[in-house]
Amino acid sequence: MFVRKKWFLAAFGLFLLYAFSIYIYLFHGADTSIPDSLKGTSVDPMTFMDSKTLENSETYSKIRNFFFFISTPLEWLFFGMVLVSGLSKRLDRWGRDSWKRQFMQTGAYVFWLSLLMFVVFLPLSYLRYKISLSYGISTQVFSSWMKDNLIEFWVDYTMTAIVVIVLYWLIHKSPKRWWLFGWLLSIPFTIFVMFIQPVVIDPLYNEFYPLQDKELEEKILALAAKAEIPTDHVYEVNMSEKTNSLNAYVTGVGANSRIVLWDTTLSSLDDDEILFIMAHEMNHYVEKHIYLGIAGYLLLTLVGLWLTDKWMKRVIRKRGELYQLESMQKISSLPLFLLITSILLFAANPITNYVSRVQETRADQYALKMTDNPEAAVTSFQKLSESGLSQMNPPFLVKLFRNSHPSMLERIQLVKEYEKMQDK
């Protein structure tokens, strides 16, 4: 009991120290100013934001980044406490007492762990929601926000239960090679989820329909034809009831691949700006970034599952008594599995974000060549930054661990370099 109490105090103390360090870095240590040589140019937010919006963008970005950096370590603390407190062992026993079949026991365990996690982290989610409302980013009423949270809970639970039931069945059948067989099964599962995402999962949250502005649709389809992209429709999604932010994206694979525009984007950008955004998204299709992303994800999954196997066995062997774990084969080891995979995913962020930023840069370059309208590119970046209250020049750690896109400063600078090349 003394050892567990000591662990609780040490883990909580380390988390508080980490959170304090991140707070100091984001709010007082990191330099997010624009270089003096760029002040007064199109990169400078003072040229397109009023003083109040500029102040809000800095403060809101710092708050949002702070939540990002503490949320994942808070999950680690949660999983550790579930293990050390013996709650995981009790949930396992509860499932075995309630159900005869192993897959039902596993499903019940995943449900109670997921529900506990949902309840514990709901106040933090609510706080983020209220802050987003106060800064005018979110426009979503509470009932709609709560509905989305409940939908997300059931979608996540369903996916997690399927994966965990299969993985723990493999661990029972092949304790040494479960990670390899699990990875092989993850290939068709990942592709299947990507295939159904646009037509099954996404519509649970929002309403999708063909672009209503037919004149704009003709322009976009003409751009798609120029890019040799076979498509008949661009999809619009009703997001104005939930946010003031702007976005457009490519989703799905195969016959279900889609280019999607938020209605907030349509109402805030002019046709030239939208065509630039669309050309950017089309590049993801042309260069098959979605498929490259799937391949990269599967490669990381293979390495991650192998490392998880080695790490779990080592922890159980050396710290099994502290975490109240006797074997990796028991479902009570799931919090340790989730803890390790979460750590590995967080550690992989700099790699995955770097690859994504390279792809996004290539998409910007492609869009500039396709539209040859640098002015529309600059104003679209400015409006995206203003609507989302995002920093033009975020801190280094934010770029490293969070940003999947280049900073707006870098993107506008890319446009300026393109203009110089055209002038030569």
| Residues of the binding site for Zn(2+) | 280, 284, 360
Question: At residue 64, what are phi and psi to the nearest 5 degrees?
Answer: -65, -40
**Hey, what are 254's tokens?**
């195969």
List, in order, residues 6 or more apart from 3 with CB less than 8 Å away.
322
- Exactly one of 75, 263, 364, 386 is catalytic; name it: 364
Contact 190, 298 (CB under 8 A): yes
User: Widest CA span of the chain, in angstroms?
Assistant: 77
CA distance 181 to 130: 43
- Exactly one of 281, 309, 386, 410 is catalytic; name it: 281
Output b/e per residue, 256-295; b: 16+ Cβ within 10 A: ebbbbbbbbbbebbeebbbbbbbbbbbbbbbeebbeebbe
**Dihedral angle computed from the Cα positions of residues 156, 159, 163 and 164, in that order, rounded to the nearest 10 degrees:** 40
Output b/e per residue, 210-224; b: 16+ Cβ within 10 A: ebeeeebbebbbebb
Nearest to 256 by CA among 299, 296, 208, 215: 208
**Dihedral angle computed from the Cα positions of residues 112, 117, 123 and 128, in that order, rounded to the nearest 10 degrees:** -140
Amino acid at 409: L
- The position carrying tokens 């907030």 is 264
List, in order, residues 6 or more apart from 369 with CB less than 8 Å away.
none
What residue numbers does the annotated binding site cover?
A: 280, 284, 360
**Hey, what are 282's tokens?**
């089309």
Contact 60, 135 (CB under 8 A): yes
CA distance 275 to 369: 12
Report which DSSP code applies to 138: B
List, in order, residues 6 or more apart from 380 with CB less than 8 Å away.
269, 273, 274, 276, 277
364 is catalytic: yes
281 is catalytic: yes
Nearest to 140 by CA among 206, 86, 53: 206
**Catalytic annotation, residues:** 281, 364
